[in-house]
Structure 1
Amino acid sequence: LHYGTLLGSRACATMAAAAWGTGLLYSLLHTANTFSVPLCRGNAVDQFFCEIPQILKLSCSKSYLMEIGLSVISALVLLGCFAFILFSYVQIFRAVLRMPSEQGWHKTFSTCLPHLAVVSLFLSTVVFAHLKPFSISSPSLDLVVSFLYSVVPPTLNPVIYSMRNQDLKHALNKLLQYALLQLQ
């Protein structure tokens, strides 16, 4: 894959600006909604993370219309991002499958498939966390789901990309062998 010839600096800047702009607009929308909701059940969130569903539980107004509106907007943003990611991967896989070298296939698929798995984990847990009904909500389930989408993907990304490093593989192998010896 020749990113330098396919993507110029203008295309990269446009994609970065679109990602940052969408993220900023999305966060401003949620922040404005959160500050407009009156809280009458205290201000202590019964959760490790200060998530929007937990803040809405403290609300004394029936903010279902705002919640439904934000859920629809969230779903549209999420679907848009997922469609863009999916389109990008289809283009990458099409380019790779045209390559004559199986080594190129292996390199690309060994990097892209784990990354796609992490993105899928992130998106599926976010959808579950924010679109599940309040009736199945429990503090422990909310904590596990929040942990799954906020801590696990950022932790897995460096691991996935560094596993191609031979020195890291060798050090990890030695560490595992040492741990197994200690257990015996």
Structure 2
Amino acid sequence: MMGHENHTFTSDFILLGLFSSSQSSLVSFSFIFIIFIMTVTENTVIILLILRDSRLHTPMYFLLSHLSFMDILHISNIVPKMVTDFLSGSRTISFVGCGFQVFLSLTLLGGECLLLAAMSYDRYVAICHPLHYPILMNDYVCIVMARGSWLIGTVNSIVHTAYALHFPFCASRAIDHFFCEVPAMLKLSCVDTTLYERGIYVSGLIFLLVPFSLIVASYVQILITVFQMKSSEARKKSFSTCSFHMMVVTMYYGPFIFTYMRPKSYHTPGQDKSLAIFYTILTPTFNPIIYSFRNKDVLEAMKNMLKSNFLY
């Protein structure tokens, strides 16, 4: 038994990936790589703008800078490995490497769920209670929200990573996914994981359903306040902003909930991989566009940065 456990902890896994090393997959590979470069560039620009321009030193942009950093780490945790595997033809990943992917992915996914809820609360206070905004969203509150998202996400990730990796993997070690994700790994275990799946369900309630419900409630209140505005232009602008925000939030939470809150027996590799693309690759690309680049303050800050760097 000890020999088997030692073998389990030292053997490599195999990531079957999104595409095979064939000419027909070159277009898909190129698309993923371009999205990766775009995502890292967009979010890096946002962080630099927020650090550089004093007008963006507000609670909303402080939280947004943390969201951008999470998105950079998250996509960098997954896509470079995919690129390396495609170019080298090797699909192996060490037990430690797989564990690190699981840990970082769960930390960032959980942290981002809480951070998005904090950002929706910020918008709720700003629009529905503007006179109380300096009190309800002061510097201390913002720091607690940001640090709390990181800390709670990390603690949750440590627990799940430790549990997921302690199961014996007796069957094939080929993970039918493009990164080490817990639901895909559980299918390789030769023991009953029902109790652990219940733990995943509880975490899903805390990190997915509760924050998503708070976000929906916040934006419903925002829309009620917006529709009471006298200015039709202000109503139109606010409604447009809320619609785009909810679209991105739904695109993130929807597939995430569907993946982590279903029993193992209902998972299919193709479906899981398609859903994971939304919350690991596409959403980090759209977040800067929806939350920042449509904002006149950010565009003005970018214009000033370009002028100071290239015109003087």
TM-score band by shorter chain is 0.7 to 0.9
CA distance in 1, matches of 2:221, 2:147: 22
1:121 and 1:149 in contact (8 A); partners too: yes
Please point out which of 278, 282, 285 is paired with 1:155.
285
Please point out which of 158, 161, 173 is paired with 1:31.
161
Aligned 1:1-184 pairs, distance under 5 A: 1=127, 2=130, 3-4=133-134, 6-161=136-291, 162-163=293-294
For this pair of structures, how many residues does the alignment match?
166
Change in CA separation of 1:66 and 1:6 when aligned onto 2, cut-off 3 Å: closer
2:164 and 2:182 in contact (8 A); partners too: yes
Bigger mean CA deviation after superposition, 44-53 or 131-140:
131-140
CA distance in 2, matches of 1:135, 1:61: 14
1:61-111 Cα distance to aligned partner (Å, 9 max, x none): 112111122222222321221122123323433443443322222222211
Corresponding residue of 1:181 = none
TM-score, normalising length: structure 1:
0.76
TM-score, normalising length: structure 2:
0.48
Q: Match of 1:16, as an amino acid?
A: A
Q: Secondary structure at the match of 1:39?
A: coil
Bigger mean CA deviation after superposition, 39-48 or 109-118:
39-48
* Structure 2 residues without counterparts, runs of 5 or longer: 1-126, 300-312
| Distance apart, 1:140 and its partner CA | 1.9
Q: State the structure with bigger RCO (CA 8 A, min sep 6), 1 or 2.
A: 2
Q: Match of 1:132, as an amino acid?
A: R
1:49 and 1:146 in contact (8 A); partners too: no
1:122 and 1:149 in contact (8 A); partners too: yes
Change in CA separation of 1:63 and 1:120 when aligned onto 2, cut-off 3 Å: same
Q: Secondary structure at the match of 1:40?
A: coil
Percent same amino acid among aligned pairs?
37
Q: Secondary structure at the match of 1:125?
A: helix
